[in-house]
C-alpha cells in the first residue's frame, strides 16, 4: 500500500512539474513569419530578410521552425551586412523547436548553408 501511495504521489508530482514547465512557455502574440523560397531564393551568399526590426516587437527565447526545402538554413539576427548566426534550420520537413535569444527590435535574416534553396517554405513562430 505504501508503494502504491508513493508511486501515485510521484506521478502526480511529475505531472504538476511538467504542467508548470509548459505554462512558462507562452507564444508571442505575433503572426508566424513565412518565407516562400520559390519567390525569394535563399543563397549561401547574402542574407535574406525574414523579418524587419519593426516586426520583431517581442523577444524570443525559443522558436518553432519548419523548413520544407532541401537545404539547411542559417538563422541570423542583426542589421544588414552585420548579421550574426543564432541557429540552423535543418530541412527535416517536420516542425523543430530551437532555443535562441532573439532580441526585441532586431532584424531577422536567413542564408543557405549549401546550394541555393529555390523551393519550399520557411515558417517561424516565436515563443517567450
CATH of the domain at 92: 2.60.120
Q: Give the model confidence (pLDDT) of 78-95 as tens digits.
A: 999 999 999 888 887 767
Is pLDDT at 98 greater than 50 in this prediction?
yes
Q: Enter the pTM of the model.
A: 0.74
Instruction: Give the whole-angstrom CA distance, residue 5 versus residue 9.
Output: 6
Residue 8, domain member (yes or no):
no
DSSP type of residue 112: E
Q: Give the model confidence (pLDDT) of 17-67 as tens digits.
A: 444 444 555 665 567 889 999 999 999 999 999 999 998 888 888 888 889
Residue 54, domain member (yes or no):
yes
- Which of 118, 115, 35, 108 shows the shortest CA–CA distance to 69? 118
Please give the average per-residue pLDDT across 93-108, as a whole number.
85
Residue 15, domain member (yes or no):
no
Adjacent-strand bridge partners of 34: 123
DSSP type of residue 126: E
Residue 18, domain member (yes or no):
no
Adjacent-strand bridge partners of 85: 76
Is pLDDT at 9 greater than 50 in this prediction?
no
Element (DSSP H or E) covering residue 66 = strand 60-67
Domain count, the chain: 1
Instruction: Give the whole-angstrom CA distance, residue 25 versus residue 93.
Output: 24
Amino acid at each position: 500500500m505504501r508503494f502504491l501511495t508513493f508511486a501515485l504521489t510521484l506521478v502526480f508530482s511529475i505531472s504538476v512539474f511538467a504542467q508548470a514547465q509548459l505554462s512558462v512557455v507562452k507564444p508571442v502574440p505575433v503572426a508566424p513569419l513565412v518565407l516562400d523560397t520559390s519567390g525569394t531564393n535563399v543563397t549561401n551568399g547574402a542574407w535574406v530578410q525574414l523579418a524587419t526590426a519593426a516586426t520583431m516587437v517581442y523577444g524570443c527565447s525559443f522558436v518553432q521552425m519548419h523548413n520544407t526545402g532541401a537545404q539547411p538554413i542559417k538563422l541570423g539576427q542583426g542589421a544588414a551586412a552585420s548579421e550574426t548566426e543564432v541557429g540552423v534550420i535543418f530541412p527535416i520537413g517536420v516542425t523543430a523547436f530551437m532555443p535562441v535569444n532573439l532580441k526585441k527590435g532586431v532584424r531577422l535574416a536567413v542564408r543557405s548553408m549549401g546550394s541555393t534553396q529555390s523551393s519550399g517554405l520557411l515558417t517561424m513562430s516565436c515563443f517567450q
